[in-house]
Amino acid sequence: MRGRTIMAWAGMGVALGASLSQGLFAAEPSPPLAPTSKWEMNYAPNECRLLRTFGEGKAQVLLQISRFDVRDSLEMALAGPRFPATERNVPVLVATSTVAEVPGIEAQGFEGTGGVPSTLRFRPDSDLPKALRSDVAAGKPTMLAINFVRRYAVKMDLGPMKGALDALDKCSDDLIRSWGLDPVQQRLLKSGPMPATNPADWFRPSDYPAGPANMGMGGAVIIRLLIGADGSVRDCAVTKSGGDKAFQDATCHAATERAKFRPAIDAEGKPVTSVWLKRINWKPGAPFFVFRG
């Protein structure tokens, strides 16, 4: 698949942040940032990315909207000069032209270091694409408004989103086909693969890579498991990773050796092959913390 070098969202240090205040959503953004580039569709090896810049000079923001799952779930990220840093994911208010508040959105702010801009990274969400598609269905250009901690607010004029979303859908279909799956079948699944055992039990203290453990290092890995119609793990691929490569190898080894699944069920009620994604956090001196990627 084609691609080019773009700004890296991973690997940025987490800065100390402030907790969410009740007055957060009282912030009012400045006039909307106008686009300063066209939408770019980037075919990355493990995900599809839409990129566009807004504003100019010190106010310029780079928006990235990406998908790396068979579900219609989007991950959003912003890079710019001044996003407030937080210690963890916190609630953030996101609105579009037709949806006053997209439910359940969370994001984490990261401080810029060494010439790398600060970033605001959102958890993957299935309600965000619904809001964007609602704007398209209503024939309205998307005005994306974001209110974050410390009264940070920004509004971006995304314009009509039909063409951009169509390009993202095409890229996603191509990506799913590259995994040996039928994108139409995957969209119509009654249910995806489900672990038959607790994912936390797949990982043991002895799995922790010796080098990083001795140095007190941690890491995070998002894996994509290909689950067969019989529930077996047929393949493990690293979708995203932060930290030493040893964490990638250890994650796939443990998951492939110990994971057990109930297979996905298609529209006709038959078991079929599909994928399952999970983010694994490796923390020295603490139990593994595992959650949905």
- Report the number of distinct structural domains present in the chain: 2
Reported as half-sphere exposure (CB side, CA atoms, 13 A), residue 82 has a value of 9
- Of 178, 206, 223, which closes a domain? 178
Q: How far apart are CA 158 and CA 61, in angstroms?
A: 12
- Of 178, 202, 234, which closes a domain? 178
pTM recorded for the entire structure = 0.81
Residue 122 lies in a domain: yes
Mean pLDDT within 114-120: 87
Residue 274 lies in a domain: yes
- Closest C-alpha to 52, from 176, 142, 133, 175: 142
CB 154 within 8 A of CB 61: yes
Which has the minimum average pLDDT: 76-80, 154-158, 167-171, 206-210? 206-210
Residue 64 vs residues 26, 151, 157: alpha-carbon distances, Å: 25, 22, 14
pLDDT at 204: 87
Q: Where is mean pLDDT largest: 77-91, 162-176, 236-250, 278-292?
A: 162-176
Q: What is the CATH number of the domain that holds 281?
A: 3.30.2420
Q: How far apart are CA 152 and CA 53, in angstroms?
A: 19
pLDDT at 6: 33
Please determine, for residue 215, whether its predicted confidence score (pLDDT) is greater than 80.
no
For residues 21 and 249, the model is more confident at 249
Instruction: Check whether residue 122 and residue 222 sit in a common domain.
Output: no
What rounded mean pLDDT belongs to the chain? 86
Which has the minimum average pLDDT: 7-21, 49-63, 113-127, 159-173? 7-21
Helix (H, G, I), strand (E, B) or coil at 108: strand
pLDDT at 116: 82
Instruction: Check whether residue 86 and residue 163 sit in a common domain.
Output: yes
Neighbours of 162 (CB within 10 A): 16
pLDDT at 166: 97
Report how far Cα 40 is from the mean position of its chain's Cα atoms: 18
Task: State the angle between helix axes of 162-178 and 127-137 in degrees (0 to 180), rounded to the nearest 10.
Answer: 140
Residue 28 confidence class, pLDDT cut points 50, 70, 90: low
Give the domain range for residue 279: 183-291
Instruction: Check whether residue 29 and residue 154 sit in a common domain.
Output: yes
- Closest C-alpha to 6, from 35, 40, 57, 36: 40
Instruction: Check whether residue 51 and residue 136 sit in a common domain.
Output: yes
Please determine, for residue 63, whether its predicted confidence score (pLDDT) is greater than 60.
yes
Percentage of the chain exceeding pLDDT 90: 66
Residue 168 lies in a domain: yes
- The token pair at 157 is 């004029």
Q: Which helix (H) or strand (E) holds 21?
A: none
CB 192 within 8 A of CB 264: yes
pLDDT in tens, 233-260: 999 999 988 777 888 999 999 999 999 9
- From start to end of 44-196, where are the E strands? 48-54, 61-67, 75-80, 90-91, 93-95, 106-110, 118-122, 142-147, 153-159, 194-195
The identity of residue 150, as a single letter, is R
Residue 16 lies in a domain: no
pLDDT in tens, 132-191: 999 999 999 999 999 999 889 999 999 999 999 999 999 999 999 999 999 999 999 999
Residue 25 confidence class, pLDDT cut points 50, 70, 90: very low
Going edge to edge, which strands form the sheet with 289-291? Answer: 233-242, 219-227, 274-282, 289-291
pLDDT in tens, 177-191: 999 999 999 999 999
pLDDT at 115: 78
Give residues with Cβ within 8 angstroms of 23, minimum separation 6.
151
Q: How far apart are CA 254 and CA 290, in angstroms?
A: 13
Please determine, for residue 292, whether its predicted confidence score (pLDDT) is greater than 60.
no
Residue 90 confidence class, pLDDT cut points 50, 70, 90: very high
